[in-house]
Structure 1
Amino acid sequence: MSIELGKFNQLEVVKEVDFGMYLDGEEEGEILLPTRYVPEDCKIGDFLNVFLYLDMDERLIATTLTPLVQVGQFACLEVAWVNQFGAFLNWGLMKDLFVPFSEQKMKMQVGRNYVVHVHLDEESYRIVASAKVERYLSKDVPEYSPDEEVNILIWQKTDLGFKAIIDNKYSGLLYENEIFRPLETGVQTTAFVKQVREDGKVDLMLQKAGFAKVDDFAKTLLEYIKEHGGRISLTDKSPADEIYDVFEVSKKTFKKGVGDLYKKRLITLEEHGIKLAGS
């Protein structure tokens, strides 16, 4: 087993010193876990799950902290500072994450957030980030099925809608006319596959399509009304953001669910709300 820089590794504690514990890094030698990160009751022979990176002196070092991103992943990170060589991002560790000027689309500014990909620089063996995201997205055609749920990271706004990174690997798009809640770069959420295009890119939706979605929501709405004394103040004229805050569905889905329950005579509609039939 070889260690993986920029990722979590299971390593054995082999030595205790005044300033921490040394872990067995095999061919890389012993790796220090500073005292501040050593778990209580830790002893020689224990195996610890630690993240490995390079310290200020470019030496391998371990931590039990969880960074905001690992090598091979995408994330939206804030710029902590810049110098003549590039920008440095806060990723939750003592040493900030470096983005060379050559890996920036535009000059990064302190305090702003950018979507980046984290990888190992082949020449220096350092962990670095790149804002040239397209370079690191898979060119393979993903094998997703319609309505399959996926994890996404909102990447950037376009004239068509929002580009998203799917499962840390593929490119996807949420169309503007199908977005019913606020989105912005850096938001991580779930979405559903609408279709996989021939070019390998994926069209996404924030909800499942079709009648099953409406039927499922109608059941959810009915249970919600029952749990809230048989009456709610939302109606099909309520603002979309208020509906989403309560049910996390679009106003269109809400209206269809209300219509479904009304046709089945399970609810009655009032000027300022909805109530169970007969209540």
Structure 2
Amino acid sequence: MINLGEVQELKITKIIKAGALLKDEDANEVLLPHEEIENEKIGDIIKVFLYNDSKGEIFATKTIPKITLGKIAHLEVREITRIGAFLDWGLEKELFLPFKEQICKLDRGRSYLVALYIDKTGRLCSTMKIRDYLRTDSKYKENDRVSGVVYNVVDDIGAFIAIDNIYEALLPNDQKRGVVAVGEPISLRVASVKPDGRLNLSQRERGHLELDKDAELIFDLLNDYDGFLPYNDKSDPDDIKDMFCMSKSAFKKATGRLLKGNKIEFYKDGIRIKEDKNGRK
């Protein structure tokens, strides 16, 4: 069978002016355009990708694209139109991403995760709605380091990540640091593995390692703000989260560590870097 959107090995049965005719074991036929013929001859078996032209007809190409049917890839937006976007997938004819298959505003030149599918008209298209294409059978376990790409952000929940462009994972809001955007590559820690195999992620480290990083972050911000910040253990948790991207509990632990290390002191409804005997910070 000639499988649109897939890589197949087909046999050259005839060479004509338009190109080489390829057939599968069931005698289904497809054309490899003449400009792609090099030293191939009748009887050769070659690896090709099957795609649609602008009229919807199926052709073969020896160029293997960056994505195949049912798979996911991180592709760059080349053009944005009223009906959708066009992506660079490695072929001369760019891949269409319909407007209805987009989940956020796209920027030309940025890359986003998409899956390849065949639409109702029988043409190859891409979609940003990739959750159903992701798997939950990874071998990752708690505290493993993983890399992925953000494929969706839901304000009340968190960021959804495709690990290795294969596995489904969630970065909950309370485990985020700063802003993450759709299409952004990201490296994280596996915080837990759900019974169904989905991964919960965190940008925070474990225990004392995280405490050190929180303390370092607060101290760096104090330096950026001339040694004083109007936050302490009585500050509103939301204000602390907005400023430091950490929970109030984490903030209190980190400031406690800085106090114990004689790095800061509480001062006039805030914290400041502690000066030495000569008045130096």
The answer to whether TM tops 0.5 is: yes
**Aligned pairs for 1:10-89 within 5 A:** 10-25=9-24, 29-38=28-37, 40-89=38-87
In structure 2, the CA distance between the partners of 1:126 and 1:177, relative to structure 1 (3 Å rule), is same
- 1:92 pairs with 2:90: yes
* Alignment match of 2:124 (pick from 123, 127, 145): 127
Q: CA deviation at 1:35?
A: 2.8
SS, match of residue 66 in structure 1 = coil
In structure 2, the CA distance between the partners of 1:148 and 1:109, relative to structure 1 (3 Å rule), is closer
SS, match of residue 36 in structure 1 = helix
**Is the 8 Å Cα contact of residues 89 and 95 (structure 2) preserved in structure 1?**
yes
Q: CA deviation at 1:136?
A: 3.3
Q: CA deviation at 1:5?
A: 1.4
Identity over the aligned pairs, expressed in percent?
35
Q: CA deviation at 1:137?
A: 3.0
**Is the 8 Å Cα contact of residues 37 and 65 (structure 1) preserved in structure 2?**
no
* Alignment match of 2:162 (pick from 147, 162, 165): 165
TM-score by length of 1: 0.58
Q: CA deviation at 1:6?
A: 1.0
One-letter identity of the residue aligned with 2:115: H
- 1:203 pairs with 2:192: no
TM-score by length of 2: 0.58
Q: CA deviation at 1:171?
A: 1.2
Render the CA deviation track for 1:124-166: whole Å, top value 9, x for unaligned: 221111112334334x565645577877444357889864213
Counterpart-to-counterpart distance in 2, 1:202 and 1:132: 19
Q: CA deviation at 1:55?
A: 0.9
The range that moved more, 44-53 or 140-149, is 140-149
**Is the 8 Å Cα contact of residues 77 and 113 (structure 1) preserved in structure 2?**
yes
SS, match of residue 86 in structure 2 = strand
Q: Which runs of 5+ in 2 are unaligned?
A: 207-281
Q: Which runs of 5+ in 1 are unaligned?
A: 210-279
One-letter identity of the residue aligned with 1:155: Y
Calculate the aligned-residue CA RMSD, in Å.
4.1
